[in-house]
Amino acid sequence: MLDKKTIFEIHRLADQGVSIKKISEILVKDRKTVRKYLNDPQLTRKPANRKSKLNPFKNEIDRLLTINSGASAVVIQQRLAEKGYDGGLSILKNHLKKVRGTRKKRAYIRFESEPGEQCQIDWGHFGSLDYDGDRRKLYCLAIIESHSRMLYVEFTHSQNQETLHRCLLNGFRFFRGTPKKLVHDNMLTAVVEREGRLVRFNDSFLEFLRPFKITPVACNPAQPQEKGKVEKGGIHYIRHNFWPLRTFSDLKDVQNQADQWRDDVANVRLHATTGQRPIERFRPEALRPLPDRSVALTSLLPDCRETKSLKVHTDFSICFDANRYTVPPRFVGKQVIAKADNETLTVYYNDKKIACHSRCWQRKQRIELPAHREAALNILNQKHLSEDSAVFISLGEIAKIHLEKMAAAGLPLKKNLKRLLQLKDEYGPGSLLTAIKRANSHNAYGADYIENILYQEMTPKRNHPPVRVKNEDLNRIRLIEPNLAEYDTYVLKRRRK
């Protein structure tokens, strides 16, 4: 077939009286062709009646598109090949383009919610963050108050049950109230089983929503338009407006930047649908208020931290999320409870807090508090002390300093300790400590100095020796002095409660 320009040129030359032979020479076309288009300028070639390799499979293609309208040409070609199709991919793509272009699009009813009626939530995956070679997947939960399009955003490294609850609770605090309904998809943390319109919700999810009197609403499968406000105005908006051209160092940095974007951009923009700024359209008084802070919140609001029961290992640490966190060494071998959010990990024993750490997102790390190591070293040192040394140190810090000074001075420790403990029996621990304190102030160390001070300043309070028995091993037993400061601390804590 000739193009329109060539056909026009044939007729122009013919109108000027140019012969067919001359026209064919000028345009380099066959004379029969020139004559044909002079007789019929609208001449078209009859299409070749060739059968396509795709024809026998068109019904199967329609069936596959009914199951999944978004299936790619490559996937459909794989399915057709199983049924004998050996044609190319190009003709399949062209056919799919025609079919999808003519397929009827479904009509959806747009609805607007009353203030405080509904919130919509959705998760999005945003790649991962690098922590010195350890990569952690990054997720985002978006919550939208449906009437105002007010947006709350929280990034996490997990989509587990506790994380979902914690993000929702933080969102309710941001909105300063709770909606009547919560619209979500069929994620396992919300929906356990579904059969048509019959939905069995996750028990933990229902238990979390119960104090807030929120009704969960699960969308139908593969129907994203049922929560279209958060699909388009939430995750899609975050992915295309917040996420591009940014760099992040860690989870806290991501959240700080997201909070700033939320307050400076997302919630103050003119919304294309409502024509208003979300922050101006938002009516917090229409939401159900959170429990009053004058009431004990712990009894009303759920604890949404990740919780695990763990055993304290011999290195006075627990293993949580591929890292080790230390606790006071006296809890070695005991079962403790670890509770963590995005920032901190807190350890409890019998409902009492015994340790608190900043959460580490690297893996195979040991997070240790200096106080825990010092306590472990003290216990280790006491194990290597003689019985007399341990008893003497139990008298307090003054006695410990005196013992260290005696050791530094090269005095015979065994002999001095034996005599000092005899002086304790004779004069009492209070008098002995007073004498040691005075001796320390004059840099005088050893049992002789202490005995001289005691002799000069006071008479023994009790001269009678302890009752002795026939077994000499029993006579040599000495008990460590109790630390009364621990009892004082316990009493003060009870008074504060």
pLDDT tens, 98-143? 887 755 566 666 778 899 999 999 999 999 999 999 999 999 999 9
Check residue 221 and report its DSSP letter: T
Residue 317 burial (CB < 10 Å; 0-12/13-18/19+)? buried
> Could you give phi then psi for residue 104, rounded to 5 degrees?
-75, 130
What pLDDT, on the 0 to 100 scale, is given for residue 293?
A: 52
**Which pLDDT belongs to residue 111?**
76
Q: Is the pLDDT of residue 384 over 60?
A: no
Sheet containing strand 352-358, edge to edge, reads 306-311, 335-340, 344-349, 352-358
pTM over 0.85? The answer is no
Model confidence over 262-316: pLDDT tens digits?
A: 999 999 999 999 999 999 999 999 999 987 654 444 456 789 999 999 999 989 9
Q: Which residue has the tokens 């044939």?
A: 10
The predicted pLDDT at position 294 comes to 44
pLDDT at 97 over 70: yes
Can you tell me the distance from the alpha carbon of 148 to that of 277, in angstroms, rounded to the nearest whole number?
A: 8
327-353 per-position pLDDT tens digit? 999 999 999 999 999 999 999 999 999
- Predicted local distance difference test score (pLDDT) of residue 464: 58
Q: How far is CA 211 from CA 123, 206, 290, in A?
A: 23, 9, 10
Q: Out of 3.90.550.10, 3.40.50.920, 3.30.420.10, 2.70.70.10, select the CATH number for domain 118-286.
A: 3.30.420.10
- Whether the pLDDT of residue 416 is over 80: the answer is yes
pLDDT at 430 over 80: yes
Domain ranges of the chain: 4-39, 55-102, 118-286, 305-375, 385-488
Across 37-54, average pLDDT: 73
SS3 402: helix
What angle, 0 to 180 degrees and rounded to 10, lies between the N-to-C axes of helices 447-457 and 429-441? 110
> Phi and psi (nearest 5°) for 374?
-65, -40
**pLDDT range class, residue 27, cuts 50, 70, 90:** confident
